[in-house]
Amino acid sequence: MLLCNKGMESFKKNLKLDIRTIIKESAFIGLNVFLMLGAIASGVLVYAYIKAPIAATLTKRDLPQTTLIYDRTGQHIIYEIHGEENRIILSHDEIPDSIRIATIAAEDAGFYNHFGVDFFAILRALRNNLQKNSMDQGASTITQQLARNAFLSREKTIRRKIAELIIAIKIERKYTKDQILDMYLNEIPYGSNAYGVESAAKTFFGKNAKELTLDESALLAAIPKATSYYSPYGNHLDGLLLRQKMILNQIGKLQLADQATVAKAGQEPIARKIIPFSDAIDAPHFVFYVREELEKKFGSEKIEEGGLRIYTTLDYEKQKSAERIITESTANLKKYGASNAALVSLDPKNGQILAMVGSRDYFDDSIDGQVNVATRPRQPGSSFKPFAYAAAFEKGFQPETKILDIQTDFGADGSGKHYVPRNYDGKFHGVVTMRQALAMSLNVPAVKTLSLAGVQATIDLAHRLGITTLNDTSRYGLSLVLGGGEVKLLDETAGYAVFANDGKKNPPVSILKITDSHGKTIHTATAENTPVLDPQIARKIDSILSDNAARIPIFGPNNKLSIPGKIVAAKTGTTSEFKDAWTVGYTPHLVTGVWVGNNNSRPMRAGADGSYVAAPIWNKFMSQALDDYPTEPFIAYEKVEDKNKIQNDIAEKITYFKKSSGKKISAKKAGRMAADKVEIRIEYVQNATSIE
């Protein structure tokens, strides 16, 4: 037993020695492997460092090329997105400290403390991205951004990021911090054709960069993060001002300026200091609409520096005609208390935007001229009614279906009040057909029609046809048919285009073709023509909206919804308190929508309905534009007649023929004669319901 114990102890002792030996050898091997991998990694980094572009070439680069935006013919340049041509290089002394500290606060708080790369910022961004399961937050220093702008693309790859880090380090070794910041401020794009802080100062504030105040510098520093989104002339001014305030707060937090100076800058009315956009530009609302589409597709760098040629869908003559007609309508608009108007015109066969005027005057701040009302949700009034009638026709109702126009209580509307709609003329018209009700824009029958079609079914149809709003369906009740939900002028015009295009949908298109700097085509538009509505239903809407005789009892014979010598379909809309006035109308070749009102929703004067303020603009534009197209009638729909009406008509004809023949004829023969005169295809006969 003693021997056994001694043997075991010896074994354990030897085992411990062996384990120690193994551990030592493993550690030695691991250390060698680590050193080897480290050497390899170091070699790779050294090689990458050597092969990385030389920082000294910053001043010898190929300059970015200007991107040009054309009309559809390519004969009119409507906008230039400049590269070097619109950049003014400043010396160190010409760049004010205000833009330096604002840029550091906005882009790189540790700029003067790192060596080109801020690893702590990278770790913070990595942590935040992991927490949010996204890659939204970056950590590029000013030097890295300069390296990327000078030598690299913006592709999100590890290889590109490593190259960016290495080049940034090389730049830091070659230049001082002040030199790097100077190059950055002279190179960075600020949008609206402004490259570099001098061009930006002149573009947005009409002054030299050295004259910039801290509040102005903070606003400029806010723009480069997303030049189109934060453009002072775009649709997101509130977002720009919010970011400017955040940068001022960051300046105070970093103690880059004293608190009194920061506080004073925060109280400045910065929005009033922005001067009207005066660069050469045609169709400004359309241009910025196109630019946003381009940035979604290519990113800002590609369109700002890629030398692209953008051939848009814009019909230059129609655009100028629309702008001129709206300007000429100013007196009539003011007469009715309206300060603004917008117009959109499309080709229904392919969805191409031929004209887009987002406001009466893009450069007039007093009417929020920079806001593109064509893409903003507004209440459409009765111009929404055709969607409800189309939904009813999908359920089997017909233009000939009779409906009772009398005072009707539709019950509580959700506010505790009872919903009792009134007609525009204050009268009730008894039994009318759906054709008459829609043509005369009677409200009570429209609400009944929506009730029959169903609110959800009507919203579903509207979405199918191109309406992108009305997404919170719980908000809407029977008042929806009278314009109780907000839609965009561009969307509703595109929706009417489905009626014009025999039930086929084409989403709005603004770009025909794009070529790169070498002339190679990289994008071409195609028509979708997706069937979304039964052609028979589209034709029924066409027939009703083009039936001028049916609308005469309300609109009169000389209304602005008809054009002499042309076959057009049209519908007006007016919201409660006269806040919005609409007219949307079309032919098989052209569809145009017009909105009139005030951007702040201030009511117009009483009587400012669509037929008086929007329809004249629509009529004048369409009258001129339709000269470019042949007059083409709408395709007639196949009627589904009331069986009882047919029988009554035949009975009346039989009696007539018997009396007028002067001699006795058989009922069978009189019936044949009557049926020939009635001229109705019996195979389409079905009962039509009289709705009360």
- Let me know: does 444 contact 462? Beta carbons within 8 Å: no
Match domain 92-276 to its CATH number in 3.40.50.150, 1.10.3720.10, 1.10.3810.10, 3.30.830.10: 1.10.3810.10
Q: What pLDDT sits at residue 136?
A: 46
Return the minimum-mean-pLDDT range out of 76-80, 314-318, 348-352: 76-80
What is the band of 31 on the pLDDT scale with cuts at 50, 70, 90?
low
Rounded average pLDDT over 119-137: 62
* Alpha helices (H) along 421-545: 434-439, 443-453, 455-465, 489-500, 535-545
pLDDT at residue 459, as a whole number: 97
Instruction: Tell me whether residue 382 is one of the annotated catalytic residues.
Output: yes
Residue 157: partners with Cβ closer than 8 Å, 6 or more residues away: none
Average pLDDT (290-295) is 93
* Residue 107 known to be catalytic: yes
Contact assessment for residue 359 and residue 369, using Cβ atoms and an 8 Å cutoff: yes
For residue 573, report the phi and psi dihedrals to the nearest 5 degrees.
-155, 140
User: Considering the chain, what is the average pLDDT of its residues?
Assistant: 84
Q: In this predicted structure, what is the pLDDT of residue 55?
A: 57
Quick one: 663 exposed, middle or buried, by C-beta within 10 A (0-12, 13-18, 19+)? exposed
Which ranges in the chain are annotated with CATH 3.40.710.10? Answer: 321-628
Instruction: State the pLDDT at residue 423.
Output: 93
**Would you say 122 and 164 are in contact if contact means Cβ atoms under 8 Å apart?**
no
Alpha-carbon Rg for the chain, nearest whole angstrom, is 35
At residue 440, φ and ψ (nearest 5 deg) are: -85, -5
Structure tokens that stand for 469 in this block: 């709003």
| Among 144-148, 295-299, 504-508, the range of highest mean pLDDT | 504-508
pLDDT at 194: 86
Helices and strands per DSSP (H, E), number in the chain? 26, 17
Q: Helix (H, G, I), strand (E, B), or coil: what is residue 532?
A: coil
Mean pLDDT value of segment 679-689: 31
pTM greater than 0.75: no
Please tell me which residue in 382, 479, 510, 562 is annotated as part of the active site.
Answer: 382
Residue 7: pLDDT band with limits 50, 70, 90: very low
**Joined tokens for residue 601:** 């929703």
Look at residue 633 in the predicted model and tell me its pLDDT: 94
Which residue, 107, 368, 98, is CA-closest to 238? 368
Q: Give the model's confidence band at 387: pLDDT under 50 very low, under 70 low, under 90 confident, else very high.
A: very high
Chain region(s) in the chain for CATH 1.10.3810.10: 92-276
- CATH number listed for the domain at residues 321-628: 3.40.710.10
Instruction: Give 136's DSSP letter.
Output: -
pLDDT > 90? residue 16: no
Higher pLDDT, 546 or 68: 546
- Tell me if 244 sits within 8 A of 232, measured CB to CB: no
